[in-house]
Amino acid sequence: MRLYKKHDFPGKLFVVEGVDGSGKSTQLDLLRNWLESKGESVIFTEWNSSNLISKTIKQAKRSNSLIPVTFSILHATDFADRLENIIIPALKAGLFVLADRYCFTAFARDVSRGVDKEWVRNLYGFAIRPDGTFYFQVPVEVSLGRINNMRMPGFYESGMDLGISNDPRESFRIFQSNIINEYDQMVDEFEFHVMPATQTIHEQQMLFREKVTSLLKN
Q: What is the pLDDT of residues 194-203, one digit of tens each?
A: 999 999 999 9
Say what the pLDDT of residue 64 is.
64
Say what the pLDDT of residue 1 is.
74
Answer yes or no: is 216 within a domain: no
The pTM (predicted TM-score) of the whole model is 0.92
50 to each of 81, 85, 87, how far by Cα in Å?
A: 6, 9, 12
Residue 97, pLDDT above cutoff 80: yes
Answer yes or no: is 7 within a domain: no
**Least confident residue range of 129-133, 152-156, 183-187, 213-217:** 152-156
Answer yes or no: is 214 within a domain: no
Answer yes or no: is 213 within a domain: no
| Of the candidates 103, 130, 99, 131, the residue with the CA atom closest to the CA atom of residue 117 | 103
Answer yes or no: is 2 within a domain: no
In the chain, the number of structural domains is 1
Overall residue count recorded for the chain in this entry:
218
Read off the pLDDT band of 63 (50, 70, 90): low
The secondary element (H helix, E strand) that includes residue 187 is helix 168-189
Answer yes or no: is 101 within a domain: yes
Backbone angles phi, psi at 93, to 5 degrees: -85, 0
117 CB-side CA count, 13 A: 7
- Greater model confidence, 56 or 49: 49
Say what the pLDDT of residue 144 is.
81
Cα end-to-end span (Å), the chain: 22
Answer yes or no: is 23 within a domain: yes
The chain-wide mean pLDDT, for the chain, equals 91
Read off the pLDDT band of 65 (50, 70, 90): low
Answer yes or no: is 16 within a domain: yes
Largest distance between two CA atoms of the chain: 50
Residue 145, pLDDT above cutoff 90: no
Q: What's 121's domain CATH number?
A: 3.40.50.300
Classify strands 96-100 and 12-17 as parallel, antiparallel or unpaired.
Answer: parallel
**Least confident residue range of 118-122, 133-137, 213-217:** 213-217
- Domain range enclosing 158: 12-208
